[in-house]
Amino acid sequence: MMFTLLWTDIMVWLLVAAFVAWGWVISRSPQVKKQWRDIFRSSIAMASAVILFFYLFFTLLDSIHLRLAKESSDQQTTQYGKMVSLLDLMFEENIKHAERTYSAPFATHEYAQSIVVENGVTKQVYLPLKHVSKEGDLWKHSLFALGVGLLLSLALILVHIFWRNRENFKEACYNVFKGKTLLPWRTAYVTFAVLFMSFVWLYMLSDMYHVLGTDKVGGDVLYQSFKSIRTGVLIGILTTLIMLPVSIILGVSAGYFGGWIDDVIQYLYTTLSSIPGVLLIAAGVLSMQVMMDNNPTWFESTLERSDLRLLFLIIILGVTSWTGLCRLLRAETLKISQIEFVTAAKAFGVGKWTIIRRHIVPNLMHIILISVVLDFSGLVLAEAVLSYVGVGVDPTMHSWGNMINQARLEMAREPMVWWSLFSAFVFMFILVLAANLLSDRIQKVLDPRNKI
């Protein structure tokens, strides 16, 4: 076994390290800790955070790639197979057990009739699926899977409670059960249990059924839906983090320094905003595609090619989406720079960069955090739209946009094939809804205007 890293894997794990460092910084500031406690005192915010961490877990699981050793006649050299992720290994049976064509969720036969010849007679019949349980009791297996999920989730919850309160474990369990904790841990644990039980139910039944059906070539839609999580989360998070430094530096510089610096930055983002966003992104993606087609030796596999296209798409989206936040930060900086404490700092001879670091940027953090979460939701939806029109991620990469794009013709056939679109919609809807609900709570707590 040999671990390998894609470009986006490196960015993901650097991002995890940055989040850990940020959490350590927050833990050293009582004021910031209090603000985040106030955010998570809301049950909706706590439930939304659990959902987002659930999606992040599958993103990390799909960001650990490796090559498994293959059996070889030459014992002196080790040969490795194709690159797979831990998520691929988890759904290995779903990948292998591909059917011939469409099948509905939990079906035992194909969705459309096929023409067969039996004893010289031509018939139209529904052929049975090859990799489903023909005699299994769905309700019995469902109850068993939900029971396993409940027991495992309760075990993990008890471990977490014990880790948080080792000295008063029984009292902590009682307080959580009665909802008497400072933070709504009961809501968090219930949300986690529901998500965990749902995943265990889907995963265990996927050994006997195609629980979300199959697509045109017989691929399992459940595997495609979970595989698409990484694409959506990466585009939402990494694009936001690429455009964030540009927006902060240019927005604060334009608002604080003014003069020709303000004129140049205004001209830059006004010119960029005047170009239709989809047109600009399409031009960048197509130029990148031509470059990749002219240099096929850059890639050893299709996975590396699609990963590089994803990285370029993230960069293009980051370059084209910083203007809105930059304009907002410029306006807010103009207002803050005229407030008394900034004027007093200037009178005492405090340096400009010190004023920006200590007075301007901290008072912009509520706008930055709110914009980050809102932009995350918009970028997840943008990936679906761009892939739908053909300028998104590589067609070979799993994404909700590609699933929707492939489903548009399936909706027009008779009988209608609805489950690919439905699965992509549900997974994307839950992620975007959780991000929006969390951003509403962040805005309510961090926005100074709400405290007046």
- Higher-confidence residue of 386 and 75: namely 386
DSSP code per residue over 209-276:
S-TT-B-TT--BHHHHHHHHHHHHHHHHHHHHHHHHHHHHHHHHHHHHH-HHHHHHHHHHHHHHHHS-
Considering the four listed CATH numbers 3.40.630.30, 1.10.357.10, 3.20.20.300, 1.10.3720.10, the one that applies to the domain covering 227-451 is 1.10.3720.10
pLDDT in tens, 161-191: 999 888 888 888 888 888 888 889 999 999 9
Given a cut of 80, whether residue 100 has pLDDT beyond it is yes
- Residue 340 CA to residue 213 CA, distance in Å, equals 63
Q: What would the two tokens of residue 415 be?
A: 């009988």
Report pLDDT for 135: 64
Specify the DSSP class assigned to residue 361. Answer: G
- Residue 436 CA to residue 432 CA, distance in Å, equals 6
Whether residue 113 contacts residue 124, with contact meaning beta carbons closer than 8 Å, is answered with yes
- Residue 283 CA to residue 277 CA, distance in Å, equals 10
- Residue 354 CA to residue 61 CA, distance in Å, equals 41
Q: Mean pLDDT, to the nearest integer, of 301-312?
A: 82
Q: What would the two tokens of residue 372 be?
A: 């980050």
Q: Mean pLDDT, to the nearest integer, of 375-400?
A: 80
Specify the DSSP class assigned to residue 450. Answer: G
- Residue 93 CA to residue 131 CA, distance in Å, equals 10
- Residue 101 CA to residue 129 CA, distance in Å, equals 9
Q: Mean pLDDT, to the nearest integer, of 221-227?
A: 92
Confidence of residue 72 (pLDDT cuts 50, 70, 90): low
- Residue 253 CA to residue 265 CA, distance in Å, equals 9
Whether residue 102 contacts residue 221, with contact meaning beta carbons closer than 8 Å, is answered with no
Average pLDDT of the chain? 84
Given a cut of 80, whether residue 450 has pLDDT beyond it is no
- Residue 428 CA to residue 421 CA, distance in Å, equals 11
Exposed, middle or buried: residue 195 (CB in 10 Å: 0-12, 13-18, 19+)? buried
Confidence of residue 452 (pLDDT cuts 50, 70, 90): very low
pLDDT in tens, 407-416: 877 777 777 8
Given a cut of 70, whether residue 136 has pLDDT beyond it is no
Longest distance between any two alpha carbons in the chain, whole Å: 100
Helix, strand, or coil (residue 312): helix
Q: Mean pLDDT, to the nearest integer, of 332-345?
A: 85
Select from 214, 227, 217, 226 the least CA-distant residue to 105.
214
Report pLDDT for 153: 94
Given a cut of 90, whether residue 152 has pLDDT beyond it is yes
Report pLDDT for 376: 81
- Residue 131 CA to residue 210 CA, distance in Å, equals 8
Q: Cα–Cα–Cα angle for 182, 183, 188, nearest 5°?
A: 145
Q: Mean pLDDT, to the nearest integer, of 229-254?
A: 87
Q: Write down the domain spans for the chain.
A: 91-205, 227-451
Select from 397, 389, 386, 342 the least CA-distant residue to 364.
342
C-alpha dihedral sign at 211, 54, 376, 186: positive
- Residue 312 CA to residue 288 CA, distance in Å, equals 7
Given a cut of 60, whether residue 324 has pLDDT beyond it is yes
Select from 417, 418, 431 the least CA-distant residue to 383.
431
User: Highest mean pLDDT range out of 211-220, 222-231, 282-291?
Assistant: 222-231
- Residue 120 CA to residue 328 CA, distance in Å, equals 75
